[in-house]
Chains A and B, each alone.
Chain A
Amino acid sequence: DGGITQSPKYLFRKEGQNVTLSCEQNLNHDAMYWYRQDPGQGLRLIYYSQIVNDFQKGDIAEGYSVSREKKESFPLTVTSAQKNPTAFYLCASSEGQAPDEKLFFGSGTQLSVL
């Protein structure tokens, strides 16, 4: 089945540690996105990539980093500079580069701080 796979489902981070969230898609979509969701809040955009080897900062990029070396993969690293990382992280993709295309979401990763 085509779709977006996020792993792990749950992740725990120790203070000062960098952690990487995986996002893989087999939909052959050009664009990929990372969102952060906090309880009672809307989705906030962290980074997005419209093409391989290129990505742009979203509204809350500080403390995060990404790479887009392959079309199907868009990993997100939560660095130690992100002081409040506990949240639900969602990866998404869209077929083309046009911003008004619908998004397909993964099932999310819940990150918590030990």
Chain B
Amino acid sequence: EDQVTQSPEALRLQEGESSSLNCSYTVSGLRGLFWYRQDPGKGPEFLFTLYSAGEEKEKERLKATLTKKESFLHITAPKPEDSATYLCAVQAGNTPLVFGKGTRLSVIA
């Protein structure tokens, strides 16, 4: 059974304190790993898609990386507006996305 596990469940950072969120997965035939950001009471917003091990993508203070078993979302010098829940999802074969439970990030000024 495909599984996506995100850690930690919640993370509290001081403004400017860099850290990483983890997404580990067990799927056969990975076609893509997705990162989304979700603000409270809203729908998720797309951040990145990673397709193969070794791939990296960046957007402002966020950088996503992918290995054969996990992905990291690195947050460099975060600001309070980066506070949100970050969702990881994987797609394998011809089946729809499988989502992890997310990491709730709080950045304190």
**CB pair A99 B102 closer than 8 Å:** no
The size bracket of the interface on B is: 20 to 34
Q: Does B72 contact A (CB under 8 A)?
A: no
Q: Closest 8 A-B residue pairs measured CB to CB?
A: A105-B43, A42-B99, A100-B32, A43-B99, A100-B31, A42-B101, A102-B46, A100-B91
B55 contacts across to A, CB distance below 8 A: none
Q: Does B75 contact A (CB under 8 A)?
A: no
Q: Does B45 contact A (CB under 8 A)?
A: yes
Q: Does A16 contact B (CB under 8 A)?
A: no
Rounded to whole angstroms, the CA-CA distance of A41 and B91 in the bound complex is 18
Contact with B along A14-56 (1 / 0, CB 8 A): 0000000000000000000101000011111100100000000
CB distance from B7 to the nearest CB of A (A): 13
Contact with A along B10-54 (1 / 0, CB 8 A): 000000000000000000000110101000011111100101000
